[in-house]
Structure 1
Amino acid sequence: MWRNRYKAQNPSVSKEKEEFACVNCQAAASTTYKKYSEDVIRLTECEKCHELVDKYIEYDVVLVVIDLMLQYVQAYRHLLLNVKIERPERLFVIFWLSHAAEVWMRDKTGAQFGQVADQEWMFYRCLLLSAVEICSFVVTILLFSLWKKKETTQSTWQIIGSTLLGYYGNVAVVISFIFNLSHETSYQVVMQIFLLVSHVQVQRVLFPTVSSTDNIIVVLTAKLISTTTGSLLTAAVL
């Protein structure tokens, strides 16, 4: 059932504990729906914007994913604020391996290695490179959160988890495998833009009172630091 995807909530509880957020204006809400019977559920209306607190409650997972791919900030608010993700580290491992595999395939295409051991070393190097780049990106966002700690209500672990989920576009490596796109410049550019926009949307959710311009600058700075760190590591390893 779709209800199992969401944070546990008791419709009879008052507003003493506000743990949800409106996907339209991000105002706090005590519930996302009210249950009248086993088959009758009414979505809660936001007291601030008078829209449904979370319309995605009734959406299938596939439709939510489509809206995420279309970069709707409402979908990001739904995922990051109103959904309880079990074992988010599993998702991070998937995104990390996907990114490392794509880099490995791209490097493998550009340099023909005859030895299996050389190709295996390349993959391990790509795993290390990917981990360092992602960690550098997350650390930059954390430093920004310390500077703007009054601008967010999220905890440190929530910021880390949300930032890591911004890498979900890395699973597109499956498409690159099927159509052999890893070495194509156009594909690489599109994926980098997609990931940057995803991180900007995550930033908008984590820091709703910070201007979009500042959030974009932070993401670009984090990406620059991440890329620079990766380049330095590559030069050191090679």
Structure 2
Amino acid sequence: MSFLLLMLIVQSVVPKNTCLRHPPPKLTSLFQLLAMSNKNFMCVTCMEPSSSLYQRYSEGVIRLSDCKNCGEVVDKYVEFETVLVVIDLIIHNISAYRHLIYNMKIQNQFRLAIIFLFCDAYDKWISGRAGIYNIYDLEWIFYKSLLQSTLEMCTYVGVVVLCDVMVHGISSKRIGLVSRGTVIGYYGNVAVVFSIIFRLSNEFSYRSVTQLFIFISHIQIQRTLFPNLSLAMNTAVVAIGVLLSMQSGALCRHLLEY
């Protein structure tokens, strides 16, 4: 069920007729792609910049571009259906993350962040409402949960952006890319659908698996955004970000109890 919800979310924020960041003015099929003259795309295998994802020979006839560095197809996901891209994201294939961040155009990214925030807030609300039946108290608990989730996400994104500034310096374009990419790592929050259907919100196993899934997602996003850093360094940044976000959430919850 959460898999279907994730597909619906992806389809709602990705243009229906293209999977690239720069769609052409007119499209007559799903896989008509725009080849850019400047190096705006990335090879999903070796992260080498590429000027295009395909070569168009005639109407409806295209050939995927090969990477000049590794010789592989620049982006195999160009011809993949959405469901296959989502499956590779779920199994944490880093190539799928590279496709999503560098070669895919995501519309309404603010909406995507709001969806992830509300999923996390709802999960916190379910856990915090035990034994409370007053409608006003339940409403207040949800607002507190939403504020806590927002603060936690902002804290984590802030840590990753700070890491980017330390590595690459201050660049508004780069900071925007890092911020948007980091938010994508929270897509595991849609697993709250499982807790609703199967009443798993208070199960330790469910919460452990969900948090582990999101943690690994953040690591893959971090590796995609910072390919020059080692796996240990990227994991350390994610761990620090998660710990600080948890601390900020706990502080928010403590202050709101007074």
Normalised-by-shorter TM-score class = over 0.9
Q: SS state of the match for residue 214, structure 2?
A: helix
Deviations 1:200-230 (A, max 9, x none): 1011111110001000000000000000111
1:117/1:19 CA distance change after superposition, 3 Å: same
**Counterpart residue number, 2:46:** 25
Q: SS state of the match for residue 55, structure 2?
A: strand
**Counterpart residue number, 1:215:** 234
1:210 counterpart letter in structure 2: L
Distance 1:154 1:42 in 2: 30
Distance 1:179 1:67 in 2: 25
* Equivalent residues of 2:19, 2:78 under 8 A apart: no
* Equivalent residues of 1:154, 1:206 under 8 A apart: no
**Counterpart residue number, 1:205:** 224
* Equivalent residues of 1:54, 1:78 under 8 A apart: yes
**Counterpart residue number, 1:171:** 190
1:9/1:232 CA distance change after superposition, 3 Å: closer
Distance 1:179 1:100 in 2: 18
Distance 2:241 2:95 in 1: 24
* Equivalent residues of 1:2, 1:60 under 8 A apart: no
1:188 counterpart letter in structure 2: R
**Counterpart residue number, 2:62:** 41
**Counterpart residue number, 2:20:** 6
* Matching residue within 72, 82, 91 for 1:51: 72
Unaligned ranges ≥5, structure 1: none
Using the TM superposition, give the Cα deviation of residue 114 of structure 1 relative to its aligned residue in structure 2, in angstroms. Answer: 2.2
The alignment yields a C-alpha RMSD, in angstroms, of 2.0
The equivalences for 1:70-109 within 5 A come to 70-108=91-129
Using the TM superposition, give the Cα deviation of residue 83 of structure 1 relative to its aligned residue in structure 2, in angstroms. Answer: 0.4
Q: SS state of the match for residue 240, structure 2?
A: helix
Distance 1:73 1:153 in 2: 25
Distance 2:235 2:142 in 1: 32
Distance 1:154 1:170 in 2: 27
1:36 counterpart letter in structure 2: Y
1:44 counterpart letter in structure 2: S
Using the TM superposition, give the Cα deviation of residue 25 of structure 1 relative to its aligned residue in structure 2, in angstroms. Answer: 0.4
1:60 counterpart letter in structure 2: E
Using the TM superposition, give the Cα deviation of residue 8 of structure 1 relative to its aligned residue in structure 2, in angstroms. Answer: 2.6
1:101 counterpart letter in structure 2: Y
Using the TM superposition, give the Cα deviation of residue 2 of structure 1 relative to its aligned residue in structure 2, in angstroms. Answer: 6.6
Unaligned ranges ≥5, structure 2: 1-14, 25-32
Give TM-score scaled by structure 1 length.
Answer: 0.93
Using the TM superposition, give the Cα deviation of residue 41 of structure 1 relative to its aligned residue in structure 2, in angstroms. Answer: 1.1
Give TM-score scaled by structure 2 length.
Answer: 0.86
Distance 1:93 1:7 in 2: 21
1:119 counterpart letter in structure 2: L
Distance 2:165 2:255 in 1: 31
1:221 counterpart letter in structure 2: I
* Equivalent residues of 2:34, 2:52 under 8 A apart: no
Deviations 1:83-142 (A, max 9, x none): 01111111111000000001111222xx31121111111000000000000001011111
Using the TM superposition, give the Cα deviation of residue 45 of structure 1 relative to its aligned residue in structure 2, in angstroms. Answer: 0.5
1:131/1:12 CA distance change after superposition, 3 Å: closer
**Counterpart residue number, 1:233:** 252
* Equivalent residues of 2:20, 2:105 under 8 A apart: yes
Q: Percent sequence identity over matched residues?
A: 39
